[in-house]
Amino acid sequence: MFYLCLASDVSLCVEAKYIEPDVKEARFDTGGVNLLKVDRDKLASSVAAYVVNSIKEGADAAAMETARRLLGFALHLNPRNRDAVIANFQFKKGLPRKKIQPEYSPVTLAEILQSRATFLIKNGGDLNVVLAGYMLSVAVQVDSTNETAIYELEMYRKDNGEVDWSSLLGSEPKKKGSK
């Protein structure tokens, strides 16, 4: 296990641990979203592959939070997606992960997410617009050099506010001793 020490006092070390996203009911696995089920499944697999292939063993807390967000997003696209379910289980149990052969490179995945997000925003509807925000955020996470995705995310934030990951992932469990 990896420990993150925030001070010279070892008693203040925090274990970097994966916290499973709370996906009771998949938000975007519905006909109300203007993406075909096959497309949602393909995106879920591609995001899961990105997470498994990019988050290394012994990763820090920030990387674990990224894994949580991206896998939560994938599970909300398709809660039965094989790659996302297996990756989530392996991260939760701290098991070694086998590389997944991605269908898309990170650059291509980010471009697809960005273009689909633009399509969803143009189609309108609350669920489409919310999904577009998550897609843009994931696109920028996957490829931070994609200037179009960065611009679209900033315009999304201006028009709709910040992307609310807590509503997608559930709240983090309370730490012992905190109120």
Looking at residue 15, what is its pLDDT?
53
Looking at residue 135, what is its pLDDT?
98
Of 117, 121, 151, 119, whose CA–CA distance to 136 is shortest? 117
Looking at residue 179, what is its pLDDT?
41
Q: 97 — phi, psi (to 5°)?
A: -115, 135
Residue 179 inside a domain? The answer is no
Length of the chain counted residue by residue: 179
Query: In whole angstroms, what is the distance from residue 99 CA to residue 77 CA?
Result: 21
Contacts of residue 73, Cβ cutoff 8 Å, sequence gap at least 6: 47, 134, 138, 168
Looking at residue 31, what is its pLDDT?
81
Enclosing domain of residue 8: 3-169
Residue 178 inside a domain? The answer is no
What is the mean pLDDT, run by run of 10 residues, along the chain of 179 residues? 42 65 86 91 96 89 93 95 95 88 93 97 93 97 96 96 89 47
The reported pTM is 0.85
Token pair of 110, please?
Answer: 């980010």
- Residue in the structure block whose two tokens are 């096959």: 38
Looking at residue 149, what is its pLDDT?
96
Residue 139 inside a domain? The answer is yes
Q: Is 109 helix (H, G, I), strand (E, B) or coil?
A: helix
Residue 175 inside a domain? The answer is no
Structural domains counted in the chain: 1
Query: In whole angstroms, what is the distance from residue 45 CA to residue 90 CA?
Result: 15
